[in-house]
Amino acid sequence: MNYNFGEIEKRWQQYWIDHQTYKVSEDSAKPKFYVLDMFPYPSGAGLHVGHPLGYIASDIISRFKRQQGFNVLHPMGFDAYGLPAEQYAIQTGQHPAITTQSNITRYREQLDKIGFSYDWSREVRTCDPAYYKWTQWAFIRMFNSYYCKQADQARPIAELTEVFSQQGTSGLNLACSEPITFTAEEWNSKSEKEQQEMLMNYRIAYLGDTMVNWCPQLGTVLANDEVSEGLSVRGGYPVEQKKMRQWCLRVSAYAQRLLDGLDKLEWSESLKETQRNWIGRSEGAVMRFSTSQEISFEIFTTRADTIFGVTFMVLAPESELVKQLVTAEQLEAVQNYIDKTKKKTERERIADKSVTGVFSGSYAHHPFTGELLPIWISDYVLAGYGTGAIMAVPAHDSRDYAFARYFNLPIIPLIDGCDVSEESFDAKVGIMVNSGFMNGLTVREAIPAAIEEVEKRGLGYRKINFRLRDAIFSRQRYWGEPFPVYYKEGMPYTLNEEELPLELPEVDKFLPTETGEPPLGRAKNWQTSEGYPLELSTMPGFAGSSAYYLRYMDPHNSDVLVSEDANSYWRDVDLYIGGTEHATGHLIYSRFWNKFLFDLGVSCEEEPFKKLVNQGMIQGRSNFVYRIKGTNKFVSLNLRDQYDVTPIHVDVSIVHNDLLDMDAFRNWSPEYRTAEFVLEEGRYVCGWAVEKMSKSMYNVVNPDDIVENYGADTLRLYEMFLGPLEQSKPWDTNGIDGVHRFLRKIWNLFFKEGMLAVSEDEPTKEELKTLHKLIRKVTYDIEHFSFNTSVSAFMICANELTSLQCRKRTVLSDLTVCLAPFAPHIAEELWSQLGNTSTVCDAQWPQWNEAYLKEDSFPYAISFNGKSRYILDFPADATKEEIEKAVLEHPNSQKWIDGNSVKKVIIVPKKIVNIVL
RNA sequence: GCUCGGAUGGUGGAAUGGUAGACACGCAAGACUUAAAAUCUUGUGACCAUAACGGUUGUGCGGGUUCAAGUCCCGCUCCGAGUACCA
């Protein structure tokens, strides 16, 4: 009987389906374990070999935990809303639902071939109305909530209107867009519409006029995490700043909790750091500056200690203050400057590092010295951060320094001995000078002292600022969740929860309307039953992925997002595996969303993902042939220097171990039909390079092909064997034979000349040692996500058992159980061949026995005067005297002792044995 | 600029401060074969040496701690990732 992986894998996959092997339900008798993959967006290209990497790792953990007696929840679904399907729809007219469905079908086929232990009965799709009902439901709840900073949680907005009518805003500390105060009388005298407008200031989901990232090519706004270096992440189109009225989520209200929560999570330090930077907490002070005009304005600074070094002020061009502070003489120059900066896209503004700015004509008064400080306008100050205005301290801030140098403004150094002739001194160290009451203090002491003084004099107050902005939640697109919102007299109202889901309507075209409205403007009867118009934007991609892990707990419940029973059993995700690219997007939004649901009492854990592992990216490994210029002749890699050649990408599927299949190459493209080759040693060797996996580089490897040629078990093992899970690495099919060979070796331990040849004899001590070494190593490795070394451990074990000719049932049985998480198909087959009637996934994970692992001998390190060292083996129970004697009699030691005046010999196993001569 | 990673043979990569290079690929030699493929066996960091034993050196560079450093500490170089006028 040969290892016929194709037949075995197909048969067992069918068995698992027929027996619903991986279906799980709540079981209070067992501890739970929730293993989650980041669900994929089903793109048209299908899966390449890099996608399953994380899925294989999570599947190994799932199967392992199940064998250890856990009740494992391991679901999968699809993040089905997204731009590519819609872009494709615009080009072809094909409805995105159809494209998405066929892509999902293809993904599912590809995933099924790899033998994952998903409970597919729990599948969710974000575009399914039964699913997005709960996305819309959460939105309604956010709309109907405000954030109370005293209680530090979200609360129903009805509570707030009650309080407003009794005491106005007095005594309240609320997260809001604009800080405003009013009395109960003022509130009560407002009209319904005016009250609604004021409530917008506090809702967690609110409609706000904000500067947004507008992408003209995509025809939609984008969130900050969807923009990178001024270009859209999807598509790479330029993005510009534009003021628009948009739905927003008050994520910023949760900034501190999002920051604090990180400490308790088992995430990689680098990912936590990325989130900390994104949240961007900075402690400082707000200071008020009066001006030569009627008004005064506030700035934010983290360096209050540098107040005596302020020589000018700067406003962001978009700041409201500009209008108020510009003088008549400067009006034209300022207007020109603002027009110029407005024309720049975000990208140009970032790329252009040259110093620009214009004087407003006004002056601010220095709060301590009363000196006049010119107020400038420059785009190096951002409208969106702090107050959109700064105090400039050129001596101690490099940007202020560059500006001061360019416009010839004074620079006052404040730290003893610092040299600001060439550059600013930004470091927060040194002794203060030229600083009035702070003179003689260190910078560390001066910062709090300055804030204290500012507060005492009533010039400002301590303030913590966050970089984290509210999430912009509207997209002017078709293929997304519709908002459960309608408009009455221009004010938004949400639908009742009973009216959900509000299904995505059909449209004739997926483009904006002639009047520039989003595609939903084309939908017929897009209004409530009372005839009020419905919202035309749809929700962004991250909406549907923000709470999907909760839905998996109870995916078919039509009454609630997740029942209390299901939620209190599954609680949170014990292990989440996915890519780092979601660090500042999905992983922030999800945490925010979950915290909101936690405040509502829907989710019983405040953090959704306890442990998170980022699998590395699998890059492509391209192959090249070298064409001699102007010919159809190709020269092998190591001879190419002798010719003038052009490297050409060649499809990796016709290259094996970097050797070109020349016939296949001639058939690959008509262009190469007549290709000739210059060979080395009769072979054509291709060059290679690590590049992104993409069609144009001909380096995409499809997992289906690997499964076809080597089997799913080989693919699974090989992906793990490639290197550490978290490391990015190129895919290189070259080494796969070794892994495949290992599986055949395992197979051959069971079968001899086509027959099962398993012995019932008791295993020997040596055989037990080999087995238990494996169990210990693999158990440890799985718990530490070191799958590459566990595959090695299996290979060593197989080699040892082969050379021991070990065919003992007890040994092979445990070996099979250990192998099951990695290579489930072959393990099932061997397990059933051993006569078991249950599946190997329900077999108990074996425990190793230390007694079998005891070493007979132990290596001792012997060093002479700390200058040389030998390692000698001694029996584990050797006494100090025996070791001493043996060391001194050892020829190497004698040689060493004779030629050198040795005073001290040290023998070190775990404990040090000193021999003093 | 800042933050976080990383640097070990021809290649991918192993090494709780304790025999560096496990395991695998590749390569070489051998066995089987008419031959090739497949399979199996042996060898494989570099240098020196040998009939054989063996020796020297070696984990990006320079220091340090230690009986002992790829691993810990200090200072560099290079590479990768993220982030960026965040005051």
- Out of A133-142, A359-368, A502-511, A752-761, pick the least confident: A752-761
CA–CA dist A52, A114 (Å, integer): 9
Q: What are phi and psi of A686, to 5 degrees?
A: -95, 150
Q: What percent of chain A has pLDDT over 90?
A: 54
| CB atoms near residue A754 (< 10 Å) | 8
- Provide, in whole angstroms, the distance separating residue A619's CA from nucleotide B15's C1': 26
Name the closest residue (CA) to the C1' of nucleotide B85.
A380
Q: What are phi and psi of A797, to 5 degrees?
A: -60, -45
- Provide, in whole angstroms, the distance separating residue A277's CA from nucleotide B81's C1': 15
- Provide, in whole angstroms, the distance separating residue A863's CA from nucleotide B62's C1': 26
Q: What are phi and psi of A680, to 5 degrees?
A: -115, 130
Which nt is closest to the CA of A400, judged by C1'? Answer: B87
pLDDT at A779: 94
pLDDT band at A248 (very low <50, low <70, confident <90, very high): very high
CA separation (Å) from A77 to A39, A602, A666? 6, 22, 42
> Of how many residues is chain A composed?
917
Name the closest residue (CA) to the C1' of nucleotide B24.
A738
Which nt is closest to the CA of A225, judged by C1'? Answer: B83
pLDDT band at A235 (very low <50, low <70, confident <90, very high): confident
- Provide, in whole angstroms, the distance separating residue A860's CA from nucleotide B41's C1': 33
- Provide, in whole angstroms, the distance separating residue A206's CA from nucleotide B51's C1': 90
- Provide, in whole angstroms, the distance separating residue A687's CA from nucleotide B35's C1': 30
CA–CA dist A877, A874 (Å, integer): 8
pLDDT at A912: 47
CA–CA dist A381, A349 (Å, integer): 12
Which nt is closest to the CA of A802, judged by C1'? Answer: B40
Which nt is closest to the CA of A224, judged by C1'? Answer: B83
| Residue A892 clears pLDDT 70, i.e. is over it | no
**Residue carrying the six token digits 């080395």:** A680
| Structure token digits, residue A728 | 């990015």
CA–CA dist A29, A19 (Å, integer): 22
- Provide, in whole angstroms, the distance separating residue A734's CA from nucleotide B44's C1': 19
As for the ipTM of the complex, it is 0.93
Q: Quickly list H helices, A113-191.
A: 129-143, 157-167, 184-188
Which nt is closest to the CA of A730, judged by C1'? Answer: B12
- Provide, in whole angstroms, the distance separating residue A702's CA from nucleotide B81's C1': 26
pLDDT band at A897 (very low <50, low <70, confident <90, very high): low
CA–CA dist A709, A656 (Å, integer): 13
Which nt is closest to the CA of A734, judged by C1'? Answer: B25
Which nt is closest to the CA of A466, judged by C1'? Answer: B86
pLDDT band at A907 (very low <50, low <70, confident <90, very high): low
- Provide, in whole angstroms, the distance separating residue A858's CA from nucleotide B56's C1': 27
pLDDT at A917: 44
Name the closest residue (CA) to the C1' of nucleotide B67.
A866
Name the closest residue (CA) to the C1' of nucleotide B5.
A270
Name the closest residue (CA) to the C1' of nucleotide B18.
A861
The string of pLDDT tens digits covering residues A67-97 is: 999 999 999 999 999 888 988 888 888 999 9
The string of pLDDT tens digits covering residues A529-573 is: 999 999 999 999 899 999 999 999 999 999 999 999 999 999 999
pLDDT band at A859 (very low <50, low <70, confident <90, very high): low
- Out of A82-91, A424-433, A822-831, A866-875, pick the least confident: A866-875
Name the closest residue (CA) to the C1' of nucleotide B87.
A301
Q: Which helix (H) or strand (E) holds A358?
A: strand A358-365
Give me the mean pLDDT over the A155-178 stretch.
Answer: 92
- Provide, in whole angstroms, the distance separating residue A901's CA from nucleotide B57's C1': 25
- Provide, in whole angstroms, the distance separating residue A225's CA from nucleotide B82's C1': 12
- Provide, in whole angstroms, the distance separating residue A723's CA from nucleotide B8's C1': 15
The string of pLDDT tens digits covering residues A40-51 is: 999 888 888 888
- Provide, in whole angstroms, the distance separating residue A506's CA from nucleotide B29's C1': 72
Please say whether the beta carbons of A529 and A502 come within 8 A: no
| Structure token digits, residue A434 | 């030229």
Chain B bases under 7 Å from protein CB?
3-5, 11-16, 18-19, 22-27, 39-41, 55, 67-68, 80-87
pLDDT at A219: 81
Give me the mean pLDDT over the A678-703 stretch.
Answer: 81
CA–CA dist A62, A71 (Å, integer): 9
Q: What percent of chain A has pLDDT over 70?
A: 93
Instruction: Tell me the torsion sign for CA atoms A550, A555, A560, A564.
Output: negative
Give me the mean pLDDT over the A686-702 stretch.
Answer: 82
Please state whether beta strands A729-730 and A618-628 pair in parallel, antiparallel, or not at all (unpaired): parallel
| Structure token digits, residue A840 | 């190997």
Which nt is closest to the CA of A791, judged by C1'? Answer: B23
Which nt is closest to the CA of A402, judged by C1'? Answer: B85
Instruction: Answer whether 0.95 is exceeded by the pTM.
Output: no
- Provide, in whole angstroms, the distance separating residue A745's CA from nucleotide B4's C1': 42
| Residue A346 clears pLDDT 70, i.e. is over it | no
- Out of A145-159, A409-423, A472-486, A547-561, pick the least confident: A409-423
Which nt is closest to the CA of A379, judged by C1'? Answer: B85
Most confident of A213-222, A457-466, A752-761: A457-466
The string of pLDDT tens digits covering residues A181-195 is: 999 999 999 999 999
Mean pLDDT across chain A: 88
Which nt is closest to the CA of A736, judged by C1'? Answer: B25
* Lateral strand order in the sheet of A612-614: A71-73, A32-37, A575-578, A612-614
pLDDT band at A366 (very low <50, low <70, confident <90, very high): very high
- Out of A137-151, A362-376, A671-685, pick the least confident: A671-685
| Structure token digits, residue A331 | 């009006």
pLDDT at A221: 82
- Provide, in whole angstroms, the distance separating residue A273's CA from nucleotide B5's C1': 12
Which nt is closest to the CA of A299, judged by C1'? Answer: B87
Burial of A687 (0-12, 13-18, 19+ CB in 10 A): middle
| Residue A233 clears pLDDT 80, i.e. is over it | no
| Structure token digits, residue A121 | 């009965």
Please state whether beta strands A372-377 and A312-315 pair in parallel, antiparallel, or not at all (unpaired): parallel
| Cα A140 to the center of its chain, rounded Å | 27
The string of pLDDT tens digits covering residues A819-851 is: 999 999 999 999 999 999 999 999 999 999 988
